[in-house]
Structure 1
Amino acid sequence: MTQYQAKSPNSLSFDITKSDQLIGKLIYQGWFKFNAIIELSDNSTYQIEPKGFWGTTIELKDGENVLLKFNMNWNGEIIIQTFFDNAEKDYIFKHRGIFKDSYVLTDHEGAELLVMKPHLKWSVMNYEYTITASDNFETLPQKEILLISSLHCANYYMSMMTTFMGV
């Protein structure tokens, strides 16, 4: 198991680290927007953009090349499709429990790859996350992109549930 931390130095970005080493950043374009940029430690950047009339599908792009898509299904799970190296793979991102408040990324067979536990920082009203990755996750190609996209999914999920519940 590998531990990652996602900390928000301000309300529009997250720094993702492993053993205090920066893995990458998730930077939002503005409040209440799903547009974001992923910056990895090797200086590569990717754009996250909502698509469609309602913006219910989110795409991650490298230039014009779509590497990943996700959308929420009818039962509150987020279905993630990756297109790395011309191979499509599906993952499921879901909220787990009321008292065991966390988010889980599984493969299409249901094996847990990531567990994300949010922590509200009351002093600044921002969330931070402790992320535990399985050994299987650590072997995935493009794991950094999938890790940071999962963080975006957690924020997307919280935003959609807050909007849905009228909070």
Structure 2
Amino acid sequence: MAEYYAKSNDSLSFELTKDDQLIGKLIYQNWFRFNAEIVVSNRAYLIEPKGFWGTTIELKDHDKVLLKFRMNWNGEIVVQTYFDGLKESFAFKHRGVFKESFVLTDQQGVELFVMKPHLKWTSMNYEYHITTSDSFDGFTRKDLLLFTSLHCANYYMSMMVAAIV
């Protein structure tokens, strides 16, 4: 079991750390778009909407699609990875209202981690505390799953705000 922290110093970027060591960054191009860049170990990955409506979002390493996600009819975000030629599916779910959190589960429903958002009222920026399970710690590309989940949390919140307005 490990603990990670995602902190936003401005509204366009997040830094992910574990034991006060920087894992990487999630950087948005602007506030109103879902395009972003993940930088891990001096390597950049692009996140961009796909298709006419942009409802499916892809994580790419140059032209190679490593991961896709989209929101389904019940509010869950379905994540499909294509790491090392193997296709795996995950569900990113929102839980609670007052004790809000997000959970990533595998196909069998096993929780891989819990992500708890915290709004810093002084700067109006979010921070996330992520607690992983032992089974998640065995993943080889867990850094990309963490960053994608961070993007999913932001995506989910923006979709819920848009639905309210």
| Superposition TM-score tier, normalisation by shorter sequence | over 0.9
Q: Deviations over 1:106-158 (max 9, x none)?
A: 00100000100000000111110000011111101100001110000000000
Q: For 1:15-164, list aligned pairs within 5 A.
A: 15-40=15-40, 42-164=41-163
- Name the CA distance, whole Å, in 2 between partners of 1:124 and 1:97: 24
What is the aligned-residue identity percentage? 65
In the alignment, the residues of structure 2 paired with residue 145 and residue 33 of structure 1 have an alpha-carbon distance, to the nearest angstrom, of 20
The CA distance in 2 between the partners of 1:160 and 1:31, in whole Å, is 13
Q: In structure 2, what is the Cα distance between the partners aligned to 1:122 and 1:101?
A: 16
RMSD: 0.6
Q: Which runs of 5+ in 1 are unaligned?
A: none
**Counterpart Cα distance in 2 of 1:22 and 1:114:** 19
Q: TM-score, normalized by length of structure 2?
A: 0.98
> Matches of 2:14 and 2:21 in 1, distance apart?
14
Give the SS at the match of 2:42. Answer: coil
The residue aligned with 2:8 is: 8
The runs of 5 or more residues in structure 2 that have no matched partner are: none
Runs of 4+ in structure 1 deviating by more than 2 angstroms, as ranges, are: none
Number of aligned pairs? 165
